[in-house]
Each structure stands twice: as C-alpha cells, then as structure tokens.
Amino acid sequence: MARKFFVGGNWKCNGTTEEVKKIVSTLNDAQVPSSDVVEVVVSPPFVFLPLVKSTLRPDFHVAAQNCWVKKGGAFTGEVSAEMLVNLDIPWVILGHSERRSLLNESNEFVGDKVAYALSRGLKVIACVGETLEQREAGSTVEVVAAQTKAIAACVSNWADVVLAYEPVWAIGTGKVASPAQAQEVHYELRKWLQENTSPEVAATTRIIYGGSVNGANCKELAAKPDVDGFLVGWGFSKAGVH
C-alpha cells in the first residue's frame, strides 16, 4: 500500500496575529495536490491555534507543538491533550529536538507523552534525530533507534503516528542531510520497525524528514523510497509554499 505523502509546517515560537493571517492566506491560495495524495498539517504556536483552525482551508489540518504527559491539573504553563481535543485540534508534535535538548525531555518521557496523546484521540508527529557529535561519532542509528524504541514501547497502534527524522545539526542551520544520508537513516528506521514491531507497521508508517528543507532540495529528497514527506520550519511559511 502506498504511503500518503505528508507535509508538516512547524512555526515554532514565531509570529504575530498579522503574520499568521498572511501565512494562512498564502496557504489557502496554494496549489496543492488533493488530500488523497498529500496530507498537509501546520503547527502554529498555542495562542494562534483557534485563529488558524477557524481560517485555514478544510483540506489542511492543524497540529499543536506539544502537550502535557497526563491529564491537566496543577501544571502551570502546560497544555493538556484534552484541551487540544476540545479545540478540535487533530495533531500534535512530540519529542522535537528543541524540547529534548533545551527542556531535557528524555526518550522515556517522550514515549509517555506519545502514549497519552494517542489515548486521548490525537494523532502524533513523533520526532527523533541525532546531534552533530553523535553523527560524527558514528552513533546515528544507535541514537535514533533508542529514541524510536522508547516510543514503540508505549505504542500499540501506529496508524495515528508519523515518525519525523530531524538531524539536530541540520535544523535551522542551513545544513541539510544529503538525500543519500536522509534515505540511509529512514531505511534504518523502517528496518528497525520491521524487526521490532511488525512488517505491516514498517510498511505503512510514514517517516518524514526535517532539517533545512527548501524548494531547492525537496524534490530530490522526496524521490527517495523511504522519505514520505517533510517537517519544515518557520521559514517555509515566510517564503510561501512550494
């Protein structure tokens, strides 16, 4: 079964109301293949979720950039999965490298977050990726396998999970993994899924790439057999959709 191509836009901690309105207008006017060919999901900051949800074209979907690991309560500053469901937000990004590194989110914590979000009915973009030091040490596959293992330990149904490989050294740096480098890691991730979950999960789970993707390199990356889409940072929105 062919895997539907997936394009996610992570706006990170950026934007004003006016900028967000302009981006949504650009997206609404974009010429994009039908939703049975390409799935498009945009992820604005929490404060803009209702605005984007209410004004974005209906064939595009909205994701939050994070959610809490359990039900809401005395967790100041957090947003619960239940709140996202209440706002009719279908997707959430979890385990992004910025949260892993800046906020010390462990592999196990990310796995628990993924499990809880799925249990509340959200779909999850689960992120994995290595640092430059880890790549140069030759431990890329070991690192992303450990990150994926912690997620897989908490997931019984992969139908609502997209795996995003984002080499940390290529995020926002202008550096990009070559198509061959991206394909190599995506292949190893799919191989890991086949050996540790099931052949069906490996064949159907979408593995997308993030890390300085742009209009100049996206076609060659997309042509690789195990690259099923992209998770693109704020710059994609500022430049428009290609």
Catalytic residue numbers, as ranges: 96, 166
Residue with tokens 């992004």: 96
Half-sphere exposure of 58 (CA within 13 A, CB side): 0
Who contacts 6 (Cβ-Cβ below 8 Å, separation ≥6)?
A: 38, 39, 41, 162, 206, 208, 228, 229, 230
Closest C-alpha among 60, 64, 97, 96 to residue 82: 64
Cα separations (Å) of 165 from 51, 54, 56, 65, 78? 29, 30, 26, 16, 25
Contact partners, residue 234, CB within 8 Å, separation at least 6: 10, 11, 12, 14, 15
